Amino acid sequence: MVNKFSRSTSFNRRALNVEGPRILNVPSPKALNVLSTKPLWFTSPRVYHRLCWVSRLFPVLILAGALLSFIILLNGGYIYVLPSLSRAFHGYGVLTFNDSVLTFNDSRNVCDIFDGRWVIDDDYPLYNASDCPFVEQGFDCLENGRKDKDYLKWRWKPKNCDIPRFNVHNVLEMLRDKRIVFVGDSMSRTQWESLICLLMTGVEDKKSVYEVNGNKITKRIRFLGVRFASFNFTIEFFRSVFLVQHGWMPRHAPKRVRSTLKLDKLDDISNEWINADVLIFNSGQWWVPGKLFETGCYFQIGNSVKLGMSIPAAYKTALSTWASWVEDTIDANRTLVFFRTFEPSHWSEKSRRFCNVTQNPLSETEGRDQSIFSESVFDVVKNMTVPITILQVTPMSAFRRDAHVGRWSDNPLVPDCSHWCLPGLPDVWNEIFLSYLLSDYGLLQGMESKVSSFPF
């Protein structure tokens, strides 16, 4: 958003307290022979005309001086003010965390929360997966035989600030009477499970936390909802891996087309997402040839099948459909909307057959800190009118080859360098998410304004 300023300034003599040229009472030639107390030059006709000219020029000089001062002030404002406003608007890390308090900082010491490094912290992990019945078996790496525990001890440390320490009691009170909804793929479900386990550490009666339909946590169910009865809030998950509708082969389509993604239509369960207090979206892991073209799934807009459309172009089109739905459907006065960016995998081969899980984080991101999917999210969101908070987890997650499930899943014969162990990396995503959520609800001491977006 660009604020345009227009100023119309009218100058007149009265406004500037400048009178017009005075009509001097010039004596007649005869009067010059009379002794006068005034000097002779004061009544000289030539000097008189000069004085008239200077008198007429005086308001012009005043006007020119005022304009010059305005230009100097405007230039100084541009140098010292506008860059700070630009950084604040675009979210270039204008927030800092000091002593677990989220505060604004000046333009000379800004903090990008996603620009940092991983450090060892003995206060981690924040929960025990064995005490949380909502961690699905495939993500509980310790229970599935992983021996090293170093991957549990890493905390994300931004360069110029600190993420506030997780305070479960503050968060539980913040979420009282709220409805939190996650929408996305299995990575979204992992973050959903992580958040529930984090919050359960502050609940005395564990039986007061339950899945609303009595379902076991599994990837095969499109809806899962966990209720915290003592605080009257729910945390829900809707499985929507593409966000848009998946349909069967349309009429007269080529034989290779078995199904299509209707890029101009949001998922048919999208009505279930409305009236949430917080919405957290993600998508990206399924936007690959193996999940699309190799299964006979192509893209469709209206009644037209787009056989030649690339995956990045289709993904951006689907995001535009999502953005239109948000702007047309979501009440921004009630609902806070987040979008979490792409989570990099760490397969050693494109065939995804070799998964080398390290004991410690990588020292370099190996190019995994960037993703066309993450870039597309920023491109679409920057043109939206509804405020969207982007959780830019791609760069920070690129270091964490050590945090993947690997062979410590419920099916050790199938390695996994896409999903993450719990406890683990998704807990840090949630710490950041909760920090922004606390600031949006104004519950962090020292807040001066709301967070509107993450760094671009």
Q: CA 254, CA 307: separation in Å to the nearest integer?
A: 9
Determine which one of 44, 100, 186, 324 is catalytic. 186
284-315 burial string, b = 16+ CB within 10 Å, else e? bbbbeeeebeeeebbbbbeeebbeebebeebb
Q: CA 366, CA 321: separation in Å to the nearest integer?
A: 32
Sign of the Cα torsion 121, 126, 131, 134 reads negative
Residue 316 φ/ψ, nearest 5 degrees: -65, -35
Please, which residues bridge with residue 278 across strands? 180, 336
Determine which one of 419, 427, 435, 440 is catalytic. 419
Which residues 6+ apart lie within 8 Å of 152 measured at CB? 124, 125, 423, 424
Dump strand ranges (E) for 129-266: 154-158, 179-184, 209-211, 223-228, 233-239, 244-248, 259-266
Determine which one of 267, 416, 427, 440 is catalytic. 416
Q: CA 123, CA 247: separation in Å to the nearest integer?
A: 47
Helix (H) or strand (E) holding 47: helix 45-80
Q: CA 435, CA 445: separation in Å to the nearest integer?
A: 12
Q: Is there a catalytic annotation at residue 419?
A: yes
Q: Is there a catalytic annotation at residue 416?
A: yes
Which residues 6+ apart lie within 8 Å of 419 measured at CB? 138, 139, 186, 187, 190, 404, 405, 409
**91 φψ region: left (φ > 0), alpha (ψ -120 to 50), beta (else):** left
One-letter amino acid at 311 equals: I
Helix (H) or strand (E) holding 388: strand 388-391
Say which DSSP state 89 is in.
H
Bond prior to 133 in cis (omega within 30° of 0): no
Q: CA 188, CA 240: separation in Å to the nearest integer?
A: 10
Say which DSSP state 331 is in.
-
Question: So which residues are the catalytic ones?
Answer: 186, 416, 419
